[in-house]
Amino acid sequence: MKVWVTGANGFIGRHLVRVLADRGYSVHGIGHGAIGDAERHHSGLAHWLNGEIDAANLNALAERTGLPSTIFHLAGGSSVGLSLAQPFEDFSRTVAGTARLLEWLRGTARDCRLIAVSSAAVYGAGHEGAIAVDAATLPMSPYGQHKLMMEQLCRSYAVSFSLRSTVVRLFSVYGPNLRKQLPWDICSRLQAGERTLVLGGTGAEVRDWTDVRDVARLLAVIDGKPQAEAFQAINAGSGFGTTVARVSARIAECWGGTISVQFSGIVRAGDPTSLLSDDAMRRTLPFDWRIPVEQGLGDYVSWFKDQIR
Amino acid sequence: MKVWVTGANGFIGRHLVRVLADRGYSVHGIGHGAIGDAERHHSGLAHWLNGEIDAANLNALAERTGLPSTIFHLAGGSSVGLSLAQPFEDFSRTVAGTARLLEWLRGTARDCRLIAVSSAAVYGAGHEGAIAVDAATLPMSPYGQHKLMMEQLCRSYAVSFSLRSTVVRLFSVYGPNLRKQLPWDICSRLQAGERTLVLGGTGAEVRDWTDVRDVARLLAVIDGKPQAEAFQAINAGSGFGTTVARVSARIAECWGGTISVQFSGIVRAGDPTSLLSDDAMRRTLPFDWRIPVEQGLGDYVSWFKDQIR
């Protein structure tokens, strides 16, 4: 089985490549970032093309590896903050990059399946409780808006050109190698010696935390099941919500020592009070979440302390 | 009053430039197409930059004219058929072009208002009766999908960066200078000597036909009324539906002679049976539709016969 991973050098991409290589797949990657030969070999990547997702580079990769049966499309903007600082850059990565990829598939690899990673940010801030995959979408940041546009491009190429694609809406993914967002911020501040942490928001914000190792396995499972329709969307959360306060407390507990976590009460405009997936996905896929958030955060703190040694 | 019109060389653009120039505005344009000095002067355009909508060209135009108070954004893909033949080209014109324009506004002309022309194609095929502006959107062609994405970019820059924009969803616009779509096809076939026309579809398809001269005036009226919110969408149909069979019969009647119009009954996949605007817009804007479809189609046939002489 030959597959490609765009953005294979990113946080989720590295975990996914490992899972796929361990299953015996021939895994090739394209995206930004220098990866030396030794590192590439160790990562499980047979080929790596360091460059933009465009027709010339996709053709170059195809010449080396042949056409893939599936492309896992992980390349794209990766943070709400960056999308606010540089919205056009986020648009280029997420939307224009996907448009070029779909057009290349239409011309060159029509039988290839696309599994594109999207985000719960497409739902916006107006939801309470578990969110179904057909809930209203009203993204509040350029990041979420561009992810929604990426999904729409996938749907459009499925409807008009029968290209098969699955968009997978990830929720709050954390785990080893995550070098941004709440768990990273808290660990970094603890590492710097802070013992009284004042965090933004109220602490009551609910998120659906999923360990990246589970998420990588889920993406491989999705690839293993043929899709019935040309286009499908999947809510890839656990259905289990944990507050930011609880996550912060757990990280502090795993870190050890006397740590006080407080909240400023200042809520960032557009920040949802709750982003929680329903668990409909588990009824259609042979997949179970294995890493509870308490354990996953423990592993994260261990990884953090290891990597700064 | 200084305004810019993107796509000023297009079907609607030329009518809009005339209306704005007649109101005494200083009108400048950017987009594709060669316009000679005499033609430009005659059209009402003070400056014309023949080129892509990108930062370099927008800066070049700003150096010549200063910054505008409003940009009418008409550049973009212009047909469902072309969007199916060349979806990436349609994406580039409609979506990527708008992304570059919004980013340029964010950096260079934050006080400029954007009035962007969208399409009823964003609604897709699932609607019956009059469509409200907040109805569900499910476009069935790359053209409609890309127009929706253009709207979403406008909304995103309004939400995140307070750029003011109005998207105006046009319905079935026809009138002098239209060189495509149903009225043009029928006249062209009559001109070629056909007297028994077999058209696609059933003839019962309902459309909200609006004369381009009314539409151009409407766009100017929209510019005249400050918008209350950073983002707004307007349904720019008349609320008056006419079947394709009736439109065809009226064109044949105006053409003269014995003409038979028949329908194949073969419906193009995704083609809506009805695309009809509600008339909510008339309650908020000082605007009335002046050209009934029977009269407008008569004028169209006269124009067609004049221009082929």
Q: Do B145 and A156 touch (CB under 8 A)?
A: yes
At residue A65 the predicted structure's pLDDT band, cuts being 50, 70 and 90, is very high
Instruction: Quickly count: other Cβ atoms within 10 Å of residue A240's Cβ.
Output: 15
The whole-angstrom distance between A106's CA and the closest CA on chain B is 10
Q: What is the pLDDT of residues B186-213, one digit of tens each?
A: 999 999 999 999 999 999 999 999 999 9
At residue B268 the predicted structure's pLDDT band, cuts being 50, 70 and 90, is confident
Residues A209 and A236: their CA atoms lie apart, in Å, by 11
Residues of chain B found within 8 Å of residue A160, distances taken between Cβ atoms: 84, 87, 141-142
- Answer whether residue A282 shows pLDDT above 90: no
Side-chain-side CA neighbours of B136 within 13 Å: the count stands at 10
Residues A86 and A102: their CA atoms lie apart, in Å, by 24
Interface test with B, best of A94, A102, A145, A231 (most B CBs within 10 A): A145
Q: Do B149 and A95 touch (CB under 8 A)?
A: yes
- The CATH H-level (homologous superfamily) assignment of domain A2-172+210-236 is NAD(P)-binding Rossmann-like Domain (3.40.50.720)
Q: Which residue has the tokens 């804007």?
A: B285
Contacts (Cβ under 8 Å, ≥6 apart) of B63:
none
Of chain A, the end-to-end C-alpha distance in Å amounts to 38
A28: three-class secondary structure by DSSP? strand
Q: pTM value? A: 0.94
Residue B83, pLDDT score? 96
Q: Do A84 and B160 touch (CB under 8 A)?
A: yes
Residues A243 and B25: their CA atoms lie apart, in Å, by 56
At residue A9 the predicted structure's pLDDT band, cuts being 50, 70 and 90, is very high
Q: What is the pLDDT of residues B271-309, one digit of tens each?
A: 899 999 999 998 899 999 999 999 999 999 999 999 977
Say if strands A260-263 and A242-243 run parallel, antiparallel, or are unpaired.
Answer: unpaired
Q: What is the pLDDT of residues B18-37, one digit of tens each?
A: 999 999 999 999 999 999 99
Give the distance, in angstroms, between the CA of residue B126 and the centroid of all CA atoms in the same chain: 22
Region B41-52 average pLDDT: 96
Residues B45 and A16: their CA atoms lie apart, in Å, by 55
CATH for A174-208+240-307, among 3.40.50.700, 3.90.25.10, 3.40.50.880, 3.30.565.10? Answer: 3.90.25.10
Asked if the C-beta of A160 comes within 8 angstroms of chain B's C-beta atoms, the answer is: yes
Give residue limits of the domains in chain B: 2-172+210-236, 174-208+240-307
- Answer whether residue A269 shows pLDDT above 90: no
AA letter at A36: G
CB neighbour burial string for A141-179, b if at least 16 within 10 angstroms, e if fewer: bbbbbbbbbbbbbbbbbbbbbebbbbbbbbbbbbbbbbe
Asked if the C-beta of B84 comes within 8 angstroms of chain A's C-beta atoms, the answer is: yes
Residue B99, pLDDT score? 98
Asked if the C-beta of B140 comes within 8 angstroms of chain A's C-beta atoms, the answer is: yes
B77: left (phi over 0), alpha (psi -120 to 50) or beta: beta
Region B34-58 average pLDDT: 96
Q: Do B96 and A96 touch (CB under 8 A)?
A: yes
Q: What is the pLDDT of residues B66-124, one digit of tens each?
A: 999 999 999 999 999 999 999 999 999 999 999 999 999 999 999 999 999 999 999 99
Question: Which 8-state DSSP code applies to residue A286?
Answer: S
Taking CA–CA distances from B104, the nearest residue in chain A reads: A88
Give the distance, in angstroms, between the CA of residue A117 and the centroid of all CA atoms in the same chain: 6
- Answer whether residue A309 shows pLDDT above 80: no
- CA nearest to B165, candidates B175, B173, B156, B176: B156
Taking CA–CA distances from A150, the nearest residue in chain B reads: B149
Residues A123 and A272: their CA atoms lie apart, in Å, by 9
Partner residue opposite B87 with nearest CB, options A96, A103, A270: A103
- Answer whether residue A156 shows pLDDT above 90: yes
A247: which 2 tokens?
A: 């996550």
Residues A207 and A210: their CA atoms lie apart, in Å, by 9
Instruction: Return residues 234-293 of A near B (CB < 8 Å).
Output: 270
Residue B308, pLDDT score? 77
AA letter at B47: H
Torsion B39-B41-B43-B49 (CA) sign: positive
Contact B269, A161 (CB under 8 A): no
